[in-house]
Amino acid sequence: MFEEILLAVDGSEHALNAARMASDLANAVNSRLLLIVVAFERIPSYLGEPNMQIAINNRLKETEKILRKAREAVGNVSAEIRTEPIEGDAAEAIIEVAKTHNSDVIVMGSRGLGGLAGMLLGSTSQKVVSHAPCPVLIVR
C-alpha cells in the first residue's frame, strides 16, 4: 500500500507539515519511493536574453531551496527520495506527475503561500483533490 508517495511542496509551513506527514506515512507502510515535487511557472520567452537566463537561474535557486527544506522536514526514511522541479501550473503539473508515475497517494498542504485568509483550501489543493488519479492526503 502507498508504494509511491508524491509530496508537493511550495515552501509554505503547510507544505512542511505535509512533508513530515509524508515521511511518517512512508515509514509506517514501508514505501518504496518518496517523490518530492515543486512546480514553477513557465518563464515567458518574450523576456529575451539575458533576462530569460537570469529568470531561469533565479527560479532554479528558489526551487532548490524549497526542495532542500522539504528534504530536511522529511528527515530519515527508508524509502528512496527523489526531488523534481516541474514546470507549469502547479495543480496540473502535480496531477501530470501523479499520472506518469502511477503515484499511490499525493500528500500536500491545505494552504500554501497564497495570502487569502479565511479560505480552508487553496486553489492548488482544491484542483488536485478534484482531478487527481489517486487518493490525496491534505495536511493542515
Ligand X SMILES: Nc1ncnc2c1ncn2[C@@H]1O[C@H](COP(=O)(O)OP(=O)(O)OP(=O)(O)O)[C@@H](O)[C@H]1O
SS (H, E, C) the chain: CCCEEEEECCCCHHHHHHHHHHHHHHHHHCCCEEEEEEEECCCCHHHCCCHHHHHHHHHHHHHHHHHHHHHHHHCCCCCEEEEEEEECCHHHHHHHHHHHHCCCEEEEECCCCCCCCCCCCCHHHHHHHHHCCCCEEEEC
Decide whether 18 or 105 has the Cβ nearer to ligand X: 18
Q: Is 122 in the site for ligand X (CB under 6 A)?
A: yes
What would the x/- binding string for ligand X be over residues 57 to 96, using CB under 6 A? ---------------------------------x------
Stretch that binds Mg ion, among 27-35, 55-63, 81-89, 106-114 (CB under 5 A): 106-114
Instruction: Identify the residue among 6, 21, 38, 73 touching ligand X (CB under 6 A).
Output: 38
